[in-house]
Amino acid sequence: MAMETLTTTVVVTLLFLLPLLALVVRQTRQRRRTTGHVPTPPEPTAIPVVGHLHLLLKKPLHRTLSDLAAGHGDLFCLRFGSSRVAVVSSAAVAQQCLRALDTTFANRPRLPSAKILSFDWSTMGHSNYGPHWRQVRRTTTSEILSAEQVQYFADVHVQQARAMARRLCRVAALRSGGRVLVDLKARVAEMLLNVLLDMICMRTTCSRGDEGEKTGEVSEKARVFMAMAEETIELTLTAWDFLPSLARWLDIDGVGRRLKRLQANRTRFLKMMVEEHREMEKKQGAQATRNTMVRALLELQKKDPEACTDKLIHSMCIVSSIYVLLILFCTLFGQR
């Protein structure tokens, strides 16, 4: 009985405080505008605490933003929970932002989930413009995306395409008449994932038998790697990022716990993968080990340990897998 009374009291108090808080915020904004404060772009009516997150639920999103731009102009504000964002819907304004004010807009938003998933905002896509960002960009363009490296990995695409064709032939040979219906999207997705894993760490999604022939079964390490990449995409840029600090600390929906658990699993897995490459080089020698992205970064680490740390190697492996998965999902599964 006492618990029910306490709950009722808390609910009634919140119902009275929320409108009062909204009124105070509104009056504060009006006072700033009348006292010569720098004006902010217009924004639609927001819901307390939530802001304009409810507008993002309307599909399709681009039409919702177009309707808002028609009513509020080429530049307007939206509040995602406790964070304020600017929406630009004009080419002229976008050019002003990206050219005349490029340094100002070069920094990335400090989202709480990105701090956990990107190793303290250390990836090129999450770090602010500065010496670290330039170092990561230099490493990416010279060691990973250089013309020599791209040409070196060209045979990987050919090998995986041939392997996919051989698997399709085996499947057809098991049926009478040599014809069988296959899910081509799944086969192409498997080939692209094999290319990705082969270039990063010399692994594929198919495990190998005693004679080195692929068995067709997904290897455990490949399954773990891709599951972590998929969960990273799932937990990137959620409503949890825009909640107030107290709400994130309470973590009622468990997103914060999932982020920390995912980061611990990723770090442990990537450390194991890097150590395997180091052990492989010790046993087989530098010439016997085929070049991979991890090995290229380890070679750079020997030359300059401060410029290429283990954290940088971990982040590049995860970011590479995420980008490929995003492209894969958009191209193969975007239209259903």
Task: Give tens-digit pLDDT for 54-107.
Answer: 887 777 878 888 888 888 888 888 888 878 888 898 888 888 888 888 877 888
As a whole number of angstroms, the distance between CA 49 and CA 246 comes to: 12
* CATH superfamily, region 134-333: Cytochrome P450 (1.10.630.10)
Strand 214-218, strand 206-208: pairing:
antiparallel
Query: 271 or 214, which is more confident?
Result: 271
Q: Where are the domains of the chain?
A: 41-106, 134-333
Model confidence over 35-51: pLDDT tens digits? 455 677 888 888 877 78
End-to-end CA distance of the chain: 53
As a whole number of angstroms, the distance between CA 219 and CA 261 comes to: 22
8 Å CB contact between 57 and 47: no
As a whole number of angstroms, the distance between CA 279 and CA 28 comes to: 62
pTM: 0.67
Model confidence over 117-151: pLDDT tens digits? 888 888 877 888 888 888 888 888 887 777 777 77
As a whole number of angstroms, the distance between CA 242 and CA 244 comes to: 7
Band (pLDDT 50/70/90 cuts) for residue 280 is confident
Return the DSSP state at 177.
G
Annotate 2-15 with b (16+ C-beta within 10 A) or e (fewer).
eeeeeeeeeeeeee
